[in-house]
Amino acid sequence: MMRTTERLILREFTEDDCPAVLAYQNDFHYLRFYPWDERTEQDVRTFIQVFIDQQYQKPRFRYQFAMVLKGTDQLIGNCGIRRGGPDSSEADIGYEVAATHWGHGYASEAAHEMLTFGFEELHLNRIWATCIVENTASARVLEKIGMQLELQLKEHEWMKGRMWDAMVYGMFKDEWFTKQ
């Protein structure tokens, strides 16, 4: 499975992607909103293996794509859409981009493609995403692709020694097709 956008190739992960993922995940800016303080090669191998295993689901209900700049082999992040199970009519999306490539619209481009895939090919009824309140860049991505803030969750996630509030954004199929 592979998807393309104006500037990106979204392709399946392979074990060979470990060095590129390790390089961008071991960055202070990236690590700010994750529970991890650092990433080892083994951490990243395990992380990628989860996505490789998803490729063999039958029927497949979780997709996580390596984000590669078109015309290059450069992996700059990943994005995904994940249903809870094969029969679920809703899924969540996620994305991350190497800090060296922030601010160029790549996360928004990839996340928009996840909505296209989810509504137009997986025929989902609702797509949602969460981000912690302080992660303003991520919230902005969700707003830019047209998702609505549905609720705020107080003290939703424990990481880095404290609880963090989170926001849930969502979009329904009717909203997607009305906007197209």
Which is closer to ligand COA, CB of 49 or CB of 100?
A: 100
Smallest Cα–Cα separation from 172: which of 147, 138, 155, 136? 147
Q: Under a CB-based contact definition with an 8 Å cutoff, are residues 20 and 75 in contact?
A: yes
Asked if 129 and 94 touch (Cβ cutoff 8 Å), the reply is yes
Choose between 71 and 103: whose C-beta lies nearer to ligand COA: 103
Scored b (16 or more CB within 10 A) or e, 43-66 reads: bbeebbeebeebeeeeeebbbbbb
End-to-end CA distance of the chain: 24
Q: Please give the helix or strand (H or E) that residue 82 lies within, else none.
A: strand 75-83
79 touches ligand COA (CB under 6 A)? no
Is 47 among the residues that bind ligand COA (CB under 6 A)?
no
Which position among 51, 95, 117, 176 is part of the footprint of ligand COA (CB under 6 A)? Answer: 95
Kindly tell me which of 47 and 58 has the beta carbon lying closer to ligand COA. 47
Among 114, 131, 167, 171, binds ligand COA (CB under 6 A): 131
Q: Of the candidates 26, 33, 61, 90, which one interacts with ligand COA according to CB under 6 A?
A: 33
Rg (CA), the chain: 16
Looking at the Cβ atoms of 83 and 96, the one nearer to ligand COA is 96
Please tell me whether residue 4 binds ligand COA under the rule CB under 6 A: no
Which positions from 132 through 151 interact with ligand COA, judged by CB under 6 A? 135-138, 140-141, 144
